[in-house]
Structure 1
Amino acid sequence: MTETLRFDSSSSELHLLDQRILPHQTAYIRCRTHGEVADAITTMVVRGAPAIGVAAAYGVYLGALEALKNQESISHTMEQVFALLAASRPTAVNLFWAIEKMRRVSERHMTADPQIWRQALLEEALRIHADDVESNRRMGAYGAPLLPAGGGVLTHCNAGALATAGYGTALGVIRSAVSAGRGIQVYATETRPFLQGARLTAFELLQDNIPVTLLCDNMVGSLMAQGKIQAVVVGADRIAANGDTANKIGTYTIAIVAKEHGIPVYIAAPCSTIDLQIASGDQIVIEQRDPAEVTHLQGHHIAAAGVQVENPSFDVTPARFISAIITDKGVAYPPYRETLAQLVGSD
C-alpha cells in the first residue's frame, strides 16, 4: 500500500502524500513546522479523519521543536500550536482527539528536562501512528463477516489506507472480507465535488486487485433497484453518542435509499471517532468549503459564472438508518447510546 504519511526522525520532517494530485502523480509534501502541517490538513493534502489525527499529532511535536527555539514561554507557544492545528478542519473529531492526547503528554512532562519533554511527545505521536494501523486491522476483522459472500458492496468517498495511517476503515473491512474469500464486488461512488472515490478509492482497490466499479453519485438508487448492491460500508468523521454519524456529503442520501431497498448500512470507524460529548448529530459542526470546488474541475470553470454555491463537506446520517457501527473494539448495534458508550469505555 502507498504510504499516506511517514515521519523522518533524523530530519524532523513529516512527509505527507499529496492526495490532491492522485492518481496521476505520486508526490510527498515535506512539513517542517506545525503551521505547514495545519495548512496541509486544511488544503486536503492529507484527508480522512484518522490520517488527520495522526498528522496533527506530529504537528504538535514539530510545534514543540519550534517552542524550544522560541524566546517566549514554552507553554504559551504550545497553546498557539494546539489552537492552529485545531482550527485546520472542524468536523473530524480524530483531530481534536489526537491534539488532546498530545496536550496531556505535554502537560505531564512540561516540568521535566526539555529534551525529555520533547522525546515524550515524539513517542506519543509515533504511538498514535502505529496504533491507527493496528486499529484498522482489528476493525477489518470485526466487520468482514457482516459483508455478503459474493455480493455487491457500495462505498462512498475514501475510507481506505489513504484516509488513515494504513489499511483503512471501510476499505479495511472490504480488504479483510476479500482476504477471507468472500468474493465481493465493490461499487465506488465518484464522490463529488472532490472526487475521492474516483481518484482515491478506485486507485487503492485496483492496486490491491479488488474488483471495483466506479459510479456517478446519482446512479446509486438505480443499482440498488437492480439488486446489484447487498451492503453499504462507509467511514465516519464524527459519531455522536446516539449513533448519528457525520460522513462525506451524500452519505445521508445513500442511507435513505438503502433503507428503502432493505440494504444494510455499516459505519466503520475507530472508537476515537465516537464523540460521547455530543448527544446527537444536530451538534456536529459541518465544514463549509470553497465554492470553487463545485464550480471548477481540475482548474477549469464548469459552472455558469456568478452562480451561488453550497459546498458542505459532510452531512449527518441519523442513527435510525445505520444497521451497525464497526469499531476497533467490536461491533455496536442499536441502541447506540448504550452500545457505543460500552465500547468506548472498554479496555
Structure 2
Amino acid sequence: MPVETIRWSPQDGLEIIDQTLLPVVFKHVRLESLGDIWEAIKMLRIRGAPAIGVCAAYGVLVGIREKGPASVAETVRAVHECADYLATSRPTAVNLFWALGRMRRVADQHKDDAEPAALLSALEGEAEAICAEDKRLCRAIGEHGAALIHDGDGVLTHCNAGGLATSDYGTALAVMFRAHELGRRFRVYADETRPLLQGARLTTWELMQAAIDVTLICDNTAAQVMREGKVQLVVVGADRIAANGDTANKVGTYGVAVLAKAHGIPFYVAAPYSTFDR
C-alpha cells in the first residue's frame, strides 16, 4: 500500500524515506538541520512537488530550532531566513513556494505577539495542516480519478507520482491505488523515466508493494504499447501547472502526451491545487 514518505514529531523531528536508495534499500533518515533538509530536496532524497512542499514547511520548524531565536522579532526573521534558503533548493516545484509562503504569512500574522511560544505553536500547526491537507487532497484525487479506470484497462504513467511524491497516497498513482481498492483489474505500464529512472526505481516499486499489475517499459516503448492497443488512458502528475492549464512535469512527459494524442488516447494530469501557479 502507499507509504508514509514524511514523518514529523515534536520530539524526534523530521524523518523521510531516502528515495535515492530505493528500490534496493528502504530506509528512513532523520534530517537534523536546515542544511540537511536543503540537501535532501536538492539531491532528490525527497522529491515530488507535494512532498517537497510538506518537507519544506517542516524544514522551517527545524531551522527555527537550530537558530534558537529568543524573541518574537527574531523568530519572525528566522522564518523568513529559513524560507529564503529552502526556496533555493528546488525552484521548479511550485508547491515549495506555496508551502513556504504559508509559513511566512503565519509568522507575519504573529509578529506583534508578546512571547514566541504562540508563534511557534502556530507555525507547527500550519506545517501539520499543510501535511494533512496534502493527504486529504491526494485521497480526493484517488476517489475522483478511480472512475477513469475500468476492468481490463491498460494505464500508462511517466515518472513517479505516488505516495513517495507526496506525504502519503500520491496523485497519479492515487487513481490507480483507489481503483485497485475498488476491485478493478487493470495493468499499469510504467515508463522507466530516464535519466534518474523514477519510473523504474520508484513507481514500479510502489505498485508492486500494492499488488497492482505493473509492467516496466523503456521510455521509447510507449509508442509501441499504444499502437498495439494495450493502453486505454495515460495518467501523470505535475511539478507545476500554469493558470491556463499548461503543465510542466518530468522530462519526457510532453512526448507521452503527443503520442497519446496521436493514438486517440485520453491523457490526464492528476495534481492538487497547491501545484497551480497562481
TM-score range, shorter chain: over 0.9
Contact map agreement 1:157 1:196 (CA 8 A) in 2: yes
Match of 1:79 in 2: 80
3-state DSSP class of the match of 1:16? strand
Provide TM-score, normalisation by structure 1: 0.77
Q: Which amino acid aligns with 1:68?
A: G
Query: What CA distance in whole angstroms lies between the structure 2 residues aligned with 1:111 and 1:171?
Result: 44
Match of 1:222 in 2: 224
Contact map agreement 1:144 1:177 (CA 8 A) in 2: yes
Query: What CA distance in whole angstroms lies between the structure 1 residues aligned with 2:176 and 2:92?
Result: 25
Q: Which amino acid aligns with 2:33?
A: T
Provide TM-score, normalisation by structure 2: 0.95
Q: Which amino acid aligns with 1:101?
A: R
Q: After TM superposition, give the deviation of residue 66 of structure 1 in Å.
A: 3.0
Match of 2:175 in 1: 173
3-state DSSP class of the match of 1:275? coil
Q: After TM superposition, give the deviation of residue 31 of structure 1 in Å.
A: 1.2
Q: How many aligned positions are there?
A: 275
Match of 1:21 in 2: 21
Deviations 1:16-74 (A, max 9, x none): 11000001101122112222211110011100000000000001111222343479933
Q: After TM superposition, give the deviation of residue 210 of structure 1 in Å.
A: 0.3
Match of 2:269 in 1: 267
CA distance 1:70–1:33, change in 2 (3 Å): farther
Report whether the alignment pairs 1:241 with 2:243. yes
Map 1:1-347 → 2, pairs under 5 A: 1-11=2-12, 13-69=13-69, 73-112=74-113, 113-276=115-278
Match of 1:334 in 2: none
Deviations 1:180-228 (A, max 9, x none): 2331110001111111111111111111100000001010001100000
Query: What CA distance in whole angstroms lies between the structure 2 residues aligned with 1:109 and 1:149?
Result: 53
Q: Which amino acid aligns with 2:32?
A: R
Gapped regions of structure 1 (runs ≥ 5): 277-347
Contact map agreement 2:75 2:116 (CA 8 A) in 1: no
RMSD: 1.5
3-state DSSP class of the match of 2:229? coil
Query: What CA distance in whole angstroms lies between the structure 1 residues aligned with 2:28 and 2:181?
Result: 29
Query: What CA distance in whole angstroms lies between the structure 1 residues aligned with 2:77 and 2:132?
Result: 29
Deviations 1:221-275 (A, max 9, x none): 0110000001000000100011110011000000001100000000000011111
Gapped regions of structure 2 (runs ≥ 5): none
